[in-house]
Structure 1
Amino acid sequence: MKFHTRKWVKPEDLNPNKTLFGGKLLAWIDEEAALYSIIQLENAHVVTKFMSEINFMASAKEGDIIEIGLDVVKFGTTSLVLNCQVRNKMTHETIITVDKITMVNLDADGNPKPHGKTKIEYVHERLSKKE
């Protein structure tokens, strides 16, 4: 799993129990999945269609640094299916897992659009193709 983003848990991210609010964490995951998909599919019009069971395994508290990891599970015709794990950066304790997040590639009218991708591409690979 590649961990792409780090977040610092701040007071405004906490629930009444003084731990990271689950809704805030899910928003961070959704944003990271969208950004990852936009880069992979080379299209700014990508939306979340589905999130499978979410498994909260541990909590994070104020001052913790967490990191969000994503892996591609499958390339569909118009979609990308991701697996997610969030962990504490310092201890590597898993905070949450999401088995499947389905992101859909859209055209300008908001309809599913084939993306033509079959494998993960890294930006440096794309740049070397253009030279």
Structure 2
Amino acid sequence: MRFHTRKWVKPEDLNPNGSLFGGQLLAWIDEEAALYTIIQFENSKIVTKFISEINFMSSAAQGDIVELGIEVLKFGKTSLTLKCEARNKMTRETILTVDNIVMVNLGSDGKPAPHGKTRIEFVKDRLIG
């Protein structure tokens, strides 16, 4: 799994118990999955179709640095299925896992459209050099 993004837990990210609000973490994960998919499909018109069971394993506190990791599980005709993990950057303790996030590519009409991708691509490999 590749960890692409780090988030710093700030006071506005906390719940009444003083730990990271789960909804904030899920928003970060949804954004990370969207950005990853946009880069893979080279199309900014994508949507989240499905997020499977979410397993909270530990919490994070103010000042912690949370890393978000993404792994591609499958390329579908119009979709990309991802796996995600959030962990504490300093301790490497897993905070949350999501086994399946399905992102869908949209055409100009706003409906699912084939993306034509079959494997992970890196931006550096697309550049003519």
Q: TM-score range by the shorter chain?
A: over 0.9
**Secondary structure of residue in 1 paired with 2:38:** helix
Q: Could you tell me how far apart the structure 2 residues matched to 1:98 and 1:121 are?
A: 22
Deviation at 1:107, TM superposition (A): 0.6
Q: Could you tell me how far apart the structure 1 residues matched to 2:20 and 2:85 are?
A: 15
The match for 1:70 is 70
The match for 1:49 is 49
Letter paired with 1:79? S
Q: Could you tell me how far apart the structure 2 residues matched to 1:67 and 1:44 are?
A: 23
The match for 2:101 is 101
Deviation at 1:108, TM superposition (A): 1.3
Residues 77-97 of structure 1: CA deviation (Å, up to 9, x unaligned):
000000000000000000000
CA RMSD of aligned residues (A): 0.5
Q: Could you tell me how far apart the structure 1 residues matched to 2:109 and 2:25 are?
A: 30
Q: Could you tell me how far apart the structure 2 residues matched to 1:82 and 1:94 are?
A: 17
Residues 49-70 of structure 1: CA deviation (Å, up to 9, x unaligned):
0000000000000000000000
Q: Could you tell me how far apart the structure 2 residues matched to 1:26 and 1:109 are?
A: 28
Q: Which runs of 5+ in 2 are unaligned?
A: none
Letter paired with 1:56? F
**Secondary structure of residue in 2 paired with 1:114:** coil
Question: How many pairs are equivalent?
Answer: 129
**Secondary structure of residue in 2 paired with 1:40:** helix
Q: Which runs of 5+ in 1 are unaligned?
A: none
Normalised TM-score (structure 2): 0.99
Q: Following superposition, which runs of at least 4 residues in structure 1 exceed 4 angstroms of deviation?
A: none
Normalised TM-score (structure 1): 0.97
Letter paired with 2:66? I
Letter paired with 1:65? I
The match for 2:114 is 114
Deviation at 1:109, TM superposition (A): 1.4
Percent identity over the alignment?
Answer: 71
Q: Could you tell me how far apart the structure 2 residues matched to 1:35 and 1:115 are?
A: 15
The match for 1:123 is 123
Letter paired with 1:29? I
